[in-house]
Structure 1
Amino acid sequence: MRLPDPSAADPALFDPLGPEFTRNPYPAYARLRALNTPYYFAPFDIWLFARFADVQAAALNPLSLRSLDDRLTPEEIEADRRAQNWHDMPYHARFVQFSLLNSDGAMHQRLRRLVFGEFTPPQVERLKSGVEAYVSDLFDAVGSEFDFINDLAVHVPGRVIGRFLGVPDADCAQLRIWSEDIVQYFDIDRTDARKALAERTTRTFYDYLIDLSNERRKRPQDDLISRLLRRWDAGELSEDEYISTCMLILMAGHGSTIDAMGNGLTALLNHPEQLQRLRADPGLMPTAIQEMFRYDAPLPFFHRLASEDMDVNGWEIPKGTKIGLLYASANRDPEAFDNADRFEIGRTPNRHLAFAAGPHFCLGNHLSRMNMEATFMTLLSRFQSIALTAEPQFKPSLSLRGPKALPLRVN
């Protein structure tokens, strides 16, 4: 099947920066699924896939890539950068636009292989007792009213991924801010001010990592930075690959887990019968965490590019076409999940796409789920009553989904 005529796409059908979508994007996703065709989103020059079967097929297709740079001339790359306002960002181009996340094929496999062993369940399990102790200390410091996001959730993944990588505890809060300032430019609102912030912050982040790396060379530790440094010194990693990998691990380990925690708690509080079920049977926590990711994915959108003419679940996709994978929409597709709009903490099987699929399946999924399990187990064991004191306000975004704050009253 050929893609529909782009000019026929109704622009009123999808407004990802509008207030209704920000509050609740799922009716808009349902409208896109009901089209039974990909939807052309003109502001981003992209074809959006909303149905589970289409999204999964595109994610698994080996011709569906994150970048086409190795297939383009320097002139074509420059023209593409200018068209998307990615140009004139030398540090961002070196360390953010190029990374494990944005590479494919042999390059991606080599970089992924260098860090894959660090994120296996046994490695993550080594951190569990320390994470639980840290989360317990955070809850000790809150009173009967606090903001779950800004008083608690923002501290957990940053501290954990910081120690995992080898960042001093005192620097973790600043690294979270830098990560957010860099990641914000991946969304569709690419103003010059946001561009300048991303480039300036990337330069600052680079300088920090170089200073920290020089310190680790003098005094190696049992951390990922020390191990990656040895690979850099052995010629297995270039400087750019080393820095971009460190940045990616830090950035990926912050925002999405914070948002997943906020989305998960919002779902529990909006479904009190599921909250009570989890209290009565804490053994359901692993499946509850999986359902939190499915029900309201923190990373609802990623793009791919057709490296050649290809077929995606019967759709003929011409070479060079930009594809938008709406993971959050796919996870609510009634063709793939029974009662897809119901939050069900015991749901099994639960083969959602919140961690993507194929070569780019999220490396840090075990770490993220461990952070969430520690946080929610402690929250439910500490407090018998948990209530919101204000309606959650979500961040306007296509690429991210999470509440700005979750003010709670507990006892």
Structure 2
Amino acid sequence: MTTEATDRHQQAEEALMGLIMPPHPIDPFPFYETLQSVNRVHNSTALGVWALTGHAEITEFLKRPDVHSGARIAGQMRPDWADHSSLRLYLKSMVTLNQPDHGRVRVLASRVFTPKRIQTMQPAVERLTRNLIDGLAERAAGGEAVDLVEHLATPFPVAVICEMLGMPFEDGERLWALADDWSQVFAGMFPEEVLATADAAADELSAYFRGEIEARRANPREDLLTGLVKESDGGRLDEDELIALILFLFTAGFSATTNLIAAGMAGLLDHPDELTRWREDSTITPSAVEELLRYSTHNTASSRFTTQPVTVGDTEIPEGVLVLALLAAANRDPLRFPDPHRLILTRDDGPHLSLSAGAHYCFGGTLAKMEAAALFPALLDTFPKIELASEPERRGVMGLTSYATLPLSLGR
């Protein structure tokens, strides 16, 4: 390498380390921009991984049939993974499986989590939307600030997925906190105290859902949980696979939408002209929801393990390496999305990668879009004046823009 090339490689290494290693940055996008400017297919000699940041490169790579789930490989790289219930449960979940297991579990889930079943949730989604927004109005009536994360972004998707699964919302509130603790191991890098907390959460979650599974076998109901139990019985899934699938659907059912609501509203407040446009023209809702998904990507990366040499763009990636497809970077790729850091609710620049691509494309995206399409227009219509009441508390999550609090002043 020339001195200039060495310096640029080091810049990319520092950017990738800054994204992956804690403490995570509040604003990850300067790090993504550095990686994209140096090499959209970056070989990290410091971390022993490859990182993809371009939209075209990531789309091409994720659609390849000859790569395996990198999350599974990474989890098994820890010698004591089998001693930890959180890691065992994670490595049984659909997102980490490879073929033929991934196809077997996904087909079973898709027979229950169908577009028709999701569509039947529309009245419930609208009812829950109205109830929670009415609650916001009551809280805001006296002029007090309302935390959108606590009072809407968190309870709304939890209430929806609980209704689908046939669980009491009170149970869902408790399980949400446990699932949040468990999901900390998904990032692959965590301190021992986080792993201990995740193990305790996984144990409690597993015990709860084992009880619910037995209850559905004894007294079937018309809910998603009963459907999953019926499909799994007869040897289609073992008990651990069934619990992992239910937990994956529960966790994915709230985490994506919680981030979409909070980060999406923050994005609208940063682009008041777009907020006004949506308030005045609800017909743009479908494209607006897609743009919010692009802008507020809830998933940092999809990781894969190469089973043979693969060429991405003009670069050959060798066999047997871990590849990080940085979805949040791809969604702000200036070669795909002009003015990528600007929220444009009528944007029509092709599909984003917030729901991934290829065999692991998120089939729960339809539900998240339905929730957002019901909630945002109702929120904007109910409150003609929405402003930040104080500085929000942002979370340092690996490679994401996330919010712990979003205090708003809501005027009617």
TM-score by length of 1: 0.90
Matched, 1:109 2:103: yes
Is the Cα contact below 8 Å between 1:278 and 1:284 reproduced in 2? yes
Offset from partner CA, 1:58-111 (integer Å, 9 cap, x none): 211112221597xx9xxx996x223xx74521x224321222111122211111
Q: Which residue of 2 aligns with 1:64?
A: 67
Matched, 1:12 2:6: no
Is the Cα contact below 8 Å between 1:96 and 1:244 reproduced in 2? yes
Cα offset for 1:400?
Answer: 4.5
Identity %: 28
Cα offset for 1:5?
Answer: 8.8
Q: C-alpha separation between the residues in 1 aligned to 2:132 and 2:246? A: 26
Q: Equivalent of 2:27, from 10, 13, 24?
A: 24
Offset from partner CA, 1:276-317 (integer Å, 9 cap, x none): 110111111111110011112011222111122222223211
Change in Cα spacing, 1:318 to 1:7, as seen in structure 2 (3 Å) is farther
Please say which of residues 18-27 and 265-274 is displaced more in the overlay: 18-27
Change in Cα spacing, 1:405 to 1:113, as seen in structure 2 (3 Å) is same
The code of the aligned residue for 2:65 comes to: P
Change in Cα spacing, 1:87 to 1:401, as seen in structure 2 (3 Å) is farther
Q: C-alpha separation between the residues in 2 aligned to 1:207 and 1:42? A: 42
Offset from partner CA, 1:128-165 (integer Å, 9 cap, x none): 11111112111222222200111111001111112212
Q: Which residue of 2 aligns with 1:236?
A: 236
Q: C-alpha separation between the residues in 2 aligned to 1:251 and 1:42? A: 34
Is the Cα contact below 8 Å between 2:308 and 2:319 reproduced in 1? yes
Offset from partner CA, 1:164-205 (integer Å, 9 cap, x none): 122222201011111100111222541110111111111111
Change in Cα spacing, 1:20 to 1:99, as seen in structure 2 (3 Å) is closer
Is the Cα contact below 8 Å between 1:300 and 1:327 reproduced in 2? yes
Is the Cα contact below 8 Å between 1:119 and 1:366 reproduced in 2? no
Q: C-alpha separation between the residues in 2 aligned to 1:5 and 1:37? A: 16
Q: C-alpha separation between the residues in 2 aligned to 1:393 and 1:19? A: 18
Q: Which residue of 2 aligns with 1:191?
A: 191
Q: C-alpha separation between the residues in 1 aligned to 2:8 and 2:38? A: 15
Is the Cα contact below 8 Å between 1:6 and 1:40 reproduced in 2? no
Q: Equivalent of 1:81, from 78, 84, 87?
A: 78
Cα offset for 1:394?
Answer: 2.0
The code of the aligned residue for 2:369 comes to: R
Q: C-alpha separation between the residues in 1 aligned to 2:129 and 2:177? A: 20
Q: C-alpha separation between the residues in 2 aligned to 1:55 and 1:189? A: 22
Change in Cα spacing, 1:257 to 1:43, as seen in structure 2 (3 Å) is farther
SS of 1:81's equivalent in the other structure is coil
Is the Cα contact below 8 Å between 2:108 and 2:232 reproduced in 1? no
Cα offset for 1:43?
Answer: 6.8
Is the Cα contact below 8 Å between 2:185 and 2:195 reproduced in 1? yes
Q: How many corresponding residue pairs?
A: 399
Q: Which residue of 2 aligns with 1:36?
A: 39
Change in Cα spacing, 1:68 to 1:189, as seen in structure 2 (3 Å) is closer
The code of the aligned residue for 1:116 comes to: S
Change in Cα spacing, 1:43 to 1:95, as seen in structure 2 (3 Å) is farther
Cα offset for 1:358?
Answer: 0.3
Offset from partner CA, 1:314-339 (integer Å, 9 cap, x none): 32111221111111111111111222
Q: C-alpha separation between the residues in 2 aligned to 1:195 and 1:40? A: 29
SS of 1:336's equivalent in the other structure is coil
Please say which of residues 162-171 and 201-210 is displaced more in the overlay: 162-171
Q: Which residue of 1 aligns with 2:129?
A: 135
SS of 2:237's equivalent in the other structure is coil
Is the Cα contact below 8 Å between 1:52 and 1:333 reproduced in 2? yes
Is the Cα contact below 8 Å between 1:135 and 1:156 reproduced in 2? yes
The code of the aligned residue for 2:78 comes to: R
Q: Which residue of 2 aligns with 1:268?
A: 268
Change in Cα spacing, 1:208 to 1:339, as seen in structure 2 (3 Å) is same
Change in Cα spacing, 1:68 to 1:267, as seen in structure 2 (3 Å) is closer
Q: C-alpha separation between the residues in 2 aligned to 1:97 and 1:262? A: 29
Q: Which residue of 1 aligns with 2:326?
A: 326
Matched, 1:257 2:262: no
Change in Cα spacing, 1:275 to 1:204, as seen in structure 2 (3 Å) is same
Change in Cα spacing, 1:162 to 1:197, as seen in structure 2 (3 Å) is same
Superposition misfits of 4+ residues, deviation over 6 angstroms: 4-7, 17-21
Change in Cα spacing, 1:237 to 1:151, as seen in structure 2 (3 Å) is same
Matched, 1:310 2:310: yes
Q: C-alpha separation between the residues in 2 aligned to 1:187 and 1:21? A: 12
Cα offset for 1:17?
Answer: 6.5
The code of the aligned residue for 1:9 comes to: Q
Is the Cα contact below 8 Å between 2:303 and 2:323 reproduced in 1? yes
TM-score by length of 2: 0.90
Matched, 1:53 2:56: yes
Q: C-alpha separation between the residues in 1 aligned to 2:15 and 2:75? A: 32
Is the Cα contact below 8 Å between 1:299 and 1:401 reproduced in 2? no
The code of the aligned residue for 2:229 comes to: L
SS of 1:325's equivalent in the other structure is strand
**Unaligned segments of structure 1, at least 5 residues:** none
